[in-house]
Structure 1
Amino acid sequence: MANYQLMIKQLAALLTNEPDPIANLANTSALVNQTVDQVNWVGFYLSDQAQEQLTLGPFQGKVACMHIQNGHGVCGTAAQTRQTQVVADVTSFPGYISCDAAAQSELVIPLVRKNGDLYGVFDLDAPIKDRFDRQLVATLEEVARIVMKSID
């Protein structure tokens, strides 16, 4: 089991005083990908100005979908509802968008600015069902807060 508290401390130190959001997103996806086992995609989708669609941002993993409409798939649902989506089995999610056939479970955390605008989503896929337990979800929601603090 990964030391999630150490990852949180490393991330906070890594993002301190770095104003470039793309650099911060890139390093965040790399750190999480290195630390969390049994994931096969870790990355970000960024919201367009109209907040109607998400566009692929920095990530670690296989080639991914480039654009996702808000309200579509797990990422679009998280964007639209502004609520974390934990999907234990992607085949049971209505309207699931398959970018990688190996994905069996997914976690998507919305990234919301202080002013309430959607910045994007933090997306993780796993090659096993029911990968994202309560502890891991809470840890990754903390990762998302640290990322948004560095951006906002």
Structure 2
Amino acid sequence: MFEETVSANLPKPAFYAELEHQARALLAGESNRVANAANFAALLYHTMPQLNWAGFYFLVDGELVVGPFQGKPARVRIAIGRGVCGTAAATRQTQLVPDVHAFADHIACDSASQSEIVIPLLTRAGELLGVLDLDSPVLARFDDEDRQGLEAVAKVLVESIDR
């Protein structure tokens, strides 16, 4: 059994360094995308405070299809360019949304969500695999330190499946 030991009381850079270490240990030796994404989503959901959804959408036949996640049921398919996830996929840039109600094309899955961050998952060759999506019931839950930390942690997942 894997036990998370990351303290949410650490300063953010230390928290994300420890989270990256935990993710590497959790995914070590496994390359299956579904298995690794499932464990990764659970690690984030149970380690990061103030989340109500943590999971993945993977690129399948030109659209994003929901993958492993923790939280309430989600939209199954998202067109590239639609919503926060589709925008992150289209631009290949992290989308940091302090207030989802101010995002013109936000796709609501959980009415409790107030803020969101979506990180595109890119292979070493620059191929889009999908996105990591985190939602919070707290306005402005995510900031630039979260963006930097989550981008680094997301690379751990990509490295585990991009061999």
Q: TM-score, normalised by structure 1?
A: 0.95
3-state secondary structure, aligned to 2:111: coil
Q: Hey, what does 1:46 align to over in structure 2?
A: 58
1:57-97 alpha-carbon deviations (Å, 9 max, x no partner): 00000000000000000000000000000000001111111
Is 1:37–2:49 an aligned residue pair?
Answer: yes
- AA in 1 matched with 2:60: D
Aligned counterparts of 2:147 and 2:94: Cα–Cα separation in 1: 9
Q: Hey, what does 1:145 align to over in structure 2?
A: 155
List gaps (5 residues or longer) in structure 2: 1-6, 9-14
Q: Hey, what does 2:36 align to over in structure 1?
A: 24
- Tell me the C-alpha RMSD between the 2 structures: 1.1
Aligned counterparts of 2:111 and 2:156: Cα–Cα separation in 1: 30
Tell me, yes or no, if the aligned pair for 2:63 and 2:77 is still in contact at 8 Å: yes
- AA in 1 matched with 2:18: L
Higher mean C-alpha displacement, 111-120 vs 27-36? 111-120
- AA in 1 matched with 2:159: K
Is 1:59–2:69 an aligned residue pair?
Answer: yes
Q: Matched residue pairs, number?
A: 150
Q: TM-score, normalised by structure 2?
A: 0.88
Misfit runs of 4+, over 4 Å: none
Aligned counterparts of 1:102 and 1:74: Cα–Cα separation in 2: 16
Could you tell me the percent identity over the aligned residues? 50
Q: Offset at 1:20?
A: 1.0
Within 5 Å, which residues of 2 pair with 1:67-106? 67-106=77-116
Q: Offset at 1:139?
A: 1.3
Tell me, yes or no, if the aligned pair for 2:88 and 2:95 is still in contact at 8 Å: yes
Aligned counterparts of 2:112 and 2:70: Cα–Cα separation in 1: 15
Aligned counterparts of 1:42 and 1:83: Cα–Cα separation in 2: 18
